[in-house]
Amino acid sequence: MALVTLKTEGKMAIIKLDNGVTNPIGPELILELSTVLKQVKSECNGMVLAGGQKFFSIGFDLPRLLKLDRPDMSDFFYGFQQALLDLFTLPMPTICAIAGHAVAGGSILALGCDYRIAGHEKTKLGLNEVRLGIPVPYLADLILRNIVEDRIANDLLYRGEFLESSEAVGIGLVDDLFSNEMVEEEAVNRVSEMSSLPPEAFAAIKENRVEAIRIRYEKNFRVKNERFLELWFSPPTQRLLHEAGKKF
């Protein structure tokens, strides 16, 4: 059964994470997402990224990932970063439809889209990595600072707290709120409207926006990603991660 599904309506794509109720992010999901993103890039001119009604995504699949050795975890993490870069640089309008909680790695995937629309009913977002002994991955850090003010980004990263969607829209992390049932439909409507614009012009404008972050990431990603992996496998962090994994 596919963990990532792709539905097209004309030249518009709806990518949906479909890995159970919580949509945990593991190697297979990232492999499927990467494949789907390549197809969307070559065939479509607009995209919606969606998840489940209870969870957009709970983030990294800790019970699964904690069983991986350093080489396999490295393969997963570099693949996750590449999928995020592919999503971030798609030459078309993209909206993340957040009808359920989007935390940690779930929030990171949401950051990769141009816009984020969330449900206003008990929907949480946030980046709690620091509480688990790891940094928010470098690329996500760069993107976050492109979306919200630097001081707000610092507060989100340093504290590692989850926000209600109403708080997230107040700081610019989320662009708009709707009833949870209407989030995906509204995202589709907005992408349909934007994708009717001349695609080459839109792609050129978006390239200008993402270029500086792409270049900076490609220059520094190896050192930054290896630092993440060093911390991931450090004994103090492993203790925190195993404790967090019990909640899955």
pLDDT at 120: 87
pTM of the model: 0.95
CA distance between the termini of the chain: 21
Tokens 């990518």 -> residue? 15
Helical pair 150-159 and 138-147, crossing angle rounded to 10 deg: 140
CATH of domain 4-194: 3.90.226.10
Contacts of 122 (CB under 8 A, 6+ apart): 164
3-state secondary structure of 37: helix
Q: Which helix (H) or strand (E) holds 3?
A: none
pLDDT at 209: 95
Pairing of the two strands 12-17 and 4-9: antiparallel
Q: Which residues of the chain have pLDDT under 70?
A: none
Pairwise CA distance, residues 118 & 224, whole Å = 30
- Percent of the chain at pLDDT > 70 equals 100
Pairwise CA distance, residues 111 & 198, whole Å = 24
pLDDT at 164: 93
Pairwise CA distance, residues 155 & 162, whole Å = 11
pLDDT at 87: 98
Pairwise CA distance, residues 110 & 84, whole Å = 9
Contacts of 197 (CB under 8 A, 6+ apart): none
Instruction: Quote the tokens at residue 99.
Output: 């009808």
Contacts of 119 (CB under 8 A, 6+ apart): 98, 99, 100, 165, 177, 178, 179, 180, 181, 183
Of 66, 52, 64, 65, the closest CA to residue 22 belongs to 52
Q: Are 150 and 126 in contact (CB under 8 A)?
A: no
Most distant CA pair in the chain, distance: 52
pLDDT at 131: 96
**Cβ atoms within 10 Å of 197's Cβ, excluding its own:** 13
3-state secondary structure of 132: helix
Residues 175-221 have pLDDT tens digits of: 999 999 999 999 999 999 999 999 999 999 999 999 999 999 999 99
